[in-house]
Amino acid sequence: VETPISAVGARDVGLVRPGARMPVDGVVIHGASEVDRSLLTGESLPVQASEGTLVSAGEVNLTGPLTVRVPAAGKESSLHRMADLVAVAEGAKTRYTSLADRAAKAYSPLVHILSFSAFGYWMWATGGDLRYAINISAAVLIITCPCALGLAVPAVITSASGKLFRKGLLIKHGTALERLAEVDTVVFDKTGTLTMGVPDPVALESHAPEDVAVAAALAAGSSHPLARALADGAKALGIAPADVTDLREVPGQGVEGLWQGARVRLGRADWCGAEAVASTASYLALAGRTHAFAFTDRPRQGAAEAVAAFLSAGMQVELLSGDSEAPVRALADRLGITRWRAGVLPAGKAARIAELTGEGRKVLMVGDGLNDTAALTSAHVSISPATALDAARVASDIVLLGQAMAPIAAAVRIGKQSARR
């Protein structure tokens, strides 16, 4: 029986099919599978789910059916709590006062004081010539009309926005450039932001073509991200899949089949009888031998240059990711980021932004996932790639239109130039 989400209550039990998105928070009470949590936590690889595993609304069930008991629904779900975080952060951001408004507050009283002072001075200098003093006082009011200020701000913003658009950055908010000029701290998300968010086989051509062909045939029978990447990598090398029959996916473990009358497997290390390596890998059990196909999450073009530019400008750079420690550490070391945290939940990211703001720092947040929306909204200014989820793009002030990260560093520099002008 299919039930509307609005009708689901606490302690209900539901079945989530392979390929379906978790509609509610829950606890797995039957079944085994792998779930993709990248939408909520930023974890680059799926995690195993079995009896007793906690799952959240928004996660994707990949390989096997799961029976889930619902302890919380509606306003008590993780997605609803995340929406509450975003709403609170949006309320705080609206308190920002633009440069023109701040200048106007001081401008008006200063002009009137100057005009009154001129009136008083010329009344004294002319021995009480009221008409002459009033004329000069009026002239001061007219000549200090805020036309220059009123024209300068939109002219500079229009020019700077056009320059940034040609570099691949779309300004969404009127005060984004002004806030960008005040930035002294940059916080990056990892998966999908500093990296492409897609696993990439490492040195696939170094493996025997026969091994790659068998692995590609097994990978074709799975929707797992590593399997898809392996199949695409073999295709790019021009290696056709081997003739593997009787394909069967084992939820949470991998894929097995028959090749030349022998049982072959592709999946987790323990299931294939292999010793796990430190890096992200998929394992092939073939003719009594095991092979490890390693993967990496490729950094975005220009990521290293952008980080280096921020560091050389004296800014503090941090990496906050929901991914596990090993890939986060590897990327941080590769890009030269010394401040990093792994396993950070959405609320934790928003809390870290609030902590930095409380220290008086002006934070630029760069992220792409649903798990980044609260942090993007609460940051002083925020940027998301065009490939980001709709929610992240809506929450951000600037959208990065291309794949390269280098324009982000240029945006901060142009923002500072615009503020000076």
Helix, strand or coil, per DSSP, at residue 231:
helix
- The pLDDT of residue 418: 86
Say what the pLDDT of residue 44 is.
63
Task: Please name the amino acid found at residue 136.
Answer: I
How many helices (H) and strands (E) would you count in the chain?
15, 20
The single-letter DSSP state of residue 251 is T
Q: What is the DSSP string of 76-120?
A: GSHHHHHHHHHHHHHHHHTT---HHHHHHHHHHHHHHHHHHHHHH
For residue 403, how many other CB atoms are within 10 A of its CB?
13
Residues of the chain with pLDDT under 50: none
Using CB atoms within 10 Å of the CB of residue 184, give its burial: 0 to 12 exposed, 13 to 18 middle, 19+ buried.
middle
pLDDT score at 250:
80
Give me 89's structure tokens. 């952060």
Helix axes 303-312 and 325-335, enclosed angle (nearest 10): 60
- Contact assessment for residue 216 and residue 235, using Cβ atoms and an 8 Å cutoff: yes
> Which DSSP category does 402 fall into?
S
Q: Which of 236, 241, 233 is nearest to 201 (CA)?
A: 233
What are the φ and ψ backbone dihedral angles of 182, each rounded to 5 degrees?
Answer: -95, 0
Centre a 10 Å sphere on the Cβ of residue 218 and count the other Cβ atoms it contains.
30
DSSP string, 352-365: HHHHHHHTT--EEE
Kindly state the DSSP code that residue 370 receives in the 8-state scheme.
G
Q: What is the pLDDT of residue 288?
A: 81
**What pLDDT score does 367 carry?**
87
CA torsion angle 21 24 25 28 (round to 10) = -70
Paired sense of beta strands 262-267 and 254-259, if any: antiparallel
What gap in Å lies between CA 147 and CA 283, rounded to an integer?
A: 69
Residue 236: Cβ within 10 Å count: 11
pLDDT at res. 41:
66
**In the beta sheet, which residues pair with residue 55?**
26
Which residue matches tokens 């290696």? 239
Q: For residue 123, what pLDDT is reported?
A: 93
Residue 304 exposed, middle or buried by CB count within 10 Å (0-12, 13-18, 19+): middle
Report the run of H or E that residue 377 belongs to, with start and end: helix 373-378
- CA angle at 195 for the pair 194 and 196, rounded to the nearest 5°: 135
Q: What is the pLDDT of residue 144?
A: 79
| Amino acid making up residue 215 | A
Which amino acid is it at 387?
A: T
Determine the pLDDT at residue 198.
Answer: 75
Pairing of strands 381-385, 398-400: parallel
What are the residue numbers of the active site?
A: 189
The amino acid occupying position 93 is K
Question: For tokens 């390596």, what's the residue?
Answer: 277
* pLDDT digits 0-9 by tens, 191-239: 888 888 777 888 888 888 888 898 888 888 777 778 888 888 888 888 8
The single-letter DSSP state of residue 192 is I
Which tokens sit at 45? 């690889």
